[in-house]
Amino acid sequence: MQATRLFGIGDTRTVTLERPEPGPGEVLVRVEAAGICGTDRHLHKGEFPSAPPLTLGHEFCGVIDAHGPGVVAPALGTRITCDPNIACGTCPQCLRGRVNLCQSLVAIGVHRDGGFADYAVIPAHRALPLPASLDPRYGAFCEPLACCLHGVDLGAPIPGERVIVLGGGVIGMLTAQLARLAGAEVMLLTRQREKRDLALALGASTTAASPEEALALWPGGADLVIECAGVAETVAAAPALTRTGGRIVIQGVLAQGERVEIEPFDLLFREIQMHFAFLNPFTQGRAAAMIAEGRILVAPLISRTISLAEAPEAISNPPRPGEVKVLILPG
C-alpha cells in the first residue's frame, strides 16, 4: 500500500509499505478521504511534538475492512470517522474528565501511524460510525469540527451576542457556522477576499479584512473573539477586538516556542476572559452527527482533492491563495 510518512524535520515522503494487520482491540480501516491540517505542516517543519517515522493524517474517514482479535463492532463495511486522540483513562487529568490533557495522550497521525495511507489500523473504540450514504469526503471533516465544537463550548456564545472569528481557514469557517447556529451575529476576519465571500455565503453577518476594519464596523468590539488562524498577529489583535467583559478563545495552533505580546493590565482592567481550546474532548460524536444531518456545510470548504503521491508537496508548502481544505483521496 501507499502511505505518506514523516521521516524527520522537512522530510515527508510517500512510500510503499506492507498493509498493516489489526491487533487485539483494533480495526483495519480502508481510508477513503483524509484532510491536510495545519498541524500536519507544523509536524513537517518540526514545530509540533511528534514521533517520526510515522504515517501522518489525523482527519480521516474510511470503511472497516477487518477486525483484530476480540473486536465485533463496528461491523465490517461500516463507514467510520476516526477520533484520533487516545487517552489512558487512569492519569489524574483523565480522572478529572480532562481527557484532552491526558499525561500519556497518544494521537493517531502524530504519535502513531495515521490516515494518509490506503489503510490504517486504529483502536476499535476510536472508530465512530457514519451513515453509509454520507459522502466520505464530508466524513473527513468530523475531527476538525469536533475541535471547533470544543472551542465554541468554551466561548459559549448565546443568541444576540456578537462573535468575531479570526482566520478564514477550515477551522474559522466551521467555527463561524457553529457560532451562527448558536444564534450569534458573526463577523469573519481574514485578508483574503475569496474567503470573506465564502464566509458570507456560509451565513456570516459581515466580514472584515483587518482589525481596524472590524472595529470600524463594530466599534465596541465583540462579546466573543475566537482565534482560528494560529498566527501571532491575530492572537495579539484579539484583546482589542473584544468588548469590555468579553471572552477570547485561542483555538489556532502556533509553532511550539512562539511568543505573543499582550497587556495583562488591559485584560485585568476590562475583565477579559481568555481561554485556550485544545483538541476534541467528547465532541467527535456530536460533530459526526452534525455533519451526517447536514447542519454544517462542508462541501464548499473542499478546495481540491489530491492523491497520496501529491501529498508531500501539499504538506510541505503553505496553502494556496483562497484555499480552505485539501483532501487526500487514497487510491
The answer to whether the CB of 177 falls within 8 A of the CB of 199 is: no
The answer for residues whose C-beta is within 8 angstroms of residue 261's C-beta and 6 or more apart is 236
Q: Contact 41/10 with Cβ under 8 angstroms?
A: no
Residue type, position 40, single letter: D
Q: What is the DSSP letter of 20?
A: P
Enclosing H/E stretch for 212: helix 211-217
List the catalytic residues. Answer: 39, 42
Q: At 33, is the secondary structure helix, strand, or coil?
A: strand
- Cα-to-chain-centroid distance, residue 224: 20
Q: Which amino acid is at 319?
A: P
Q: How many CB atoms lie within 10 A of CB 30?
A: 18
Where do we find the cell 465485533? 72
Beta strand residue intervals within the chain, DSSP E? 2-8, 11-16, 26-35, 54-55, 60-67, 79-82, 85-86, 106-107, 119-123, 127-129, 162-166, 185-189, 206-208, 222-227, 242-250, 273-276, 302-306, 325-328
Helical axes 170-181 vs 193-201, angle rounded to 10°: 30
Residue 61 to residues 82, 173, 241, 257, Cα–Cα distance (Å): 6, 20, 37, 32
